[in-house]
Chains A and B, each alone.
Chain A
Amino acid sequence: MKYYKNKKEIELNRELSILDDFVIKFCNLLDEYVVVSGYVSILFGRSRGTEGVDLLIPKLSENEFKKLWRKIYLNGFECLNTSKVNESYDYLKSHAIRFALKGKPVPNIEFKIIKNDLDKYSSDNKIKVKLKNGALFISPPEMQIAYKLFLASDKDLEDAKHIYELFKKDLNMKELERLINNLKVRRNFEKIK
């Protein structure tokens, strides 16, 4: 793995898992997105499974969403919340919606609109991960760590520890400290350091 901080790029030569192929296939259908939360730790080696991959996208007009919906369905995915595009668009305004390969609910993509400053931060500072069979955009490691410390289940703290140990040398410590202070997660940070 090589992290080119100035270019905001990571080169990762991992063997792709079925989960990676699934995520790449879905993300290739999107113009703009950022992958956040647990799957990012898994992409970088955390040895655990997951049901859902969290993904943030910018706000879409109803027409844009309908176009995307059609593209998603034509590529073999289905929405697990509803099969009606109008219902789905309304639901997306306040909730996440899930997409999976038809007839295979696991794994699935938890699809959310960018709503708050934390989401926006992840999107504005996203990192491109170049893989053997494509590329993915992920939220930066500093935010990954801080947000996982905020979620704070054992699983989340372990994800934070994984990313922290792996990127330790390359982290922007000033930025990590700032995010830790903003999210008020100093105590949890001390637990995993």
Chain B
Amino acid sequence: MKIDFEQLEKDNEDNFKERLEFIKYWVEFIKKNKDEVWSRQQNIVVDGQIF
């Protein structure tokens, strides 16, 4: 198996930057909407792992 570690490293960095961009997007959504609106969506993720 050939592994391009340099490429993997770069993909990882790009992925992290994309996640930070999404956080910025999500925070804008939070600011523009009522607390009830964003929290209802967020609760699906937060409570998803609670049985």
List the interface of chain A (C-beta within 8 A of B).
Answer: 1, 12-19, 42, 44-51, 104, 106-107, 154, 157-158, 161-162, 165-166, 192
Contacts and interface: CB of A to CB of B under 8 A. Distances in A.
Nearest to A49: B49
B26 A45 contact: yes
Contacts of A46: 23, 42
A161 B48 contact: no
A107 B45 contact: no
14 contacts: A15-B39, A15-B40, A19-B47, A19-B50, A45-B30, A45-B38, A46-B42, A49-B47, A104-B51, A106-B51, A157-B16, A161-B24, A165-B23, A166-B27
Interface of B: 16, 19-20, 23-24, 26-27, 30-31, 34-36, 38-43, 45-51
A51 B30 CA distance: 24
Contacts, number: 78
A162 B50 contact: no
Question: Would you list the 6 A-B pairs with minimal beta carbon distance, nearest first?
Answer: A14-B39, A13-B35, A165-B27, A49-B49, A17-B43, A14-B35
Nearest to B24: A165
Nearest to A13: B35
Nearest to A44: B30
Nearest to A18: B47
A47 B47 contact: no
Given A15-B40, A45-B27, A154-B19, 19 more contacts: A1-B30, A14-B39, A15-B39, A16-B39, A17-B42, A17-B43, A17-B47, A45-B26, A45-B42, A47-B26, A47-B45, A48-B45, A48-B46, A106-B49, A158-B19, A161-B20, A161-B23, A165-B24, A166-B30
